[in-house]
Amino acid sequence: MTSSTGRRVTANLNLTLDGRYHGPGGPGDMGAIVSYAATEVARNHLDRIHESATTAVLGRFNAEGFLGFWPTILDNESADPRDRGYAKWLVDAEKVVLSSTLTTAPWERTRVVNAPAVDVVTGLKATGEGDILVNSSASVIKPLLAADLVDRLYLMICPEIAGGGPRLFDDGLPASKWKLAHHEAGELGELALVYDRVR
């Protein structure tokens, strides 16, 4: 299932205390998360997630949302340098968008693939170099967790309970052990956590 290229699969996601990546109102219900997205800890975390990644994997929803936001940060000289660094990485990186509805790539250096996440990421692991970052796309991260393909988790834990909405860690996942590789706490109570899969 894995190859000898040594590429790690990493995943980045923001979660509430009750493990939700958005609230009960749907994907736009980010009230319990959004106020922690621009803190010092969150920006340091953003700087960290792409440091060894060469490929970004996104679901359609995030790919389209990111397209409308991050390229504008790249050209904004007053933006935080960490935000601009991430924007430059994202624009320049190889991007793979998983979608069954898109017919054309929404970005340059992007290809759209209509295939299961596990198959796509297994194929990416077989070629190239650098980490494969699954970027804030729970629809992609969940099947990779179920297949035990995630090697590193970058999690921002926001100190609020959403009280509803989907969780990242569903029942039925294979048992696994993780080692804390980094942690940082912010003044608002947010936590940046990096966990590596123990194999």
* Beta strand 110-113 pairing with 177-185: unpaired
Q: For residue 107, what pLDDT band results from cuts at 50, 70 and 90?
A: confident
Position 2 scores a pLDDT of: 43
d(CA 130, CA 133): 9
Q: What does the pLDDT average to over 134-162?
A: 97
Q: Is residue 90 within 8 Å of residue 80, measured between CB atoms? A: no
The verdict on residue 34 lying in a domain is yes
The verdict on residue 140 lying in a domain is yes
Q: What SS3 class is residue 199?
A: coil
Four-point Cα dihedral 115, 116, 118, 120, nearest 10: 10
At 167, which CATH number? 3.40.430.10
For residue 192, pLDDT beyond 80: yes
The verdict on residue 168 lying in a domain is yes
H or E stretch at 48 = helix 40-49
pLDDT: which is higher, 36 or 104: 36
The verdict on residue 1 lying in a domain is no
How many structural domains is the chain composed of?
Answer: 1
The verdict on residue 3 lying in a domain is no
- Containing domain of residue 50, as a range? 9-198
Q: pTM for this structure?
A: 0.94
User: Which pair of structure tokens corresponds to residue 118?
Assistant: 């596990």
Q: Is residue 14 within 8 Å of residue 154, measured between CB atoms? A: no
The verdict on residue 4 lying in a domain is no
Q: Side-chain half-sphere of 164: how many Cα atoms within 13 Å? A: 5
The verdict on residue 87 lying in a domain is yes
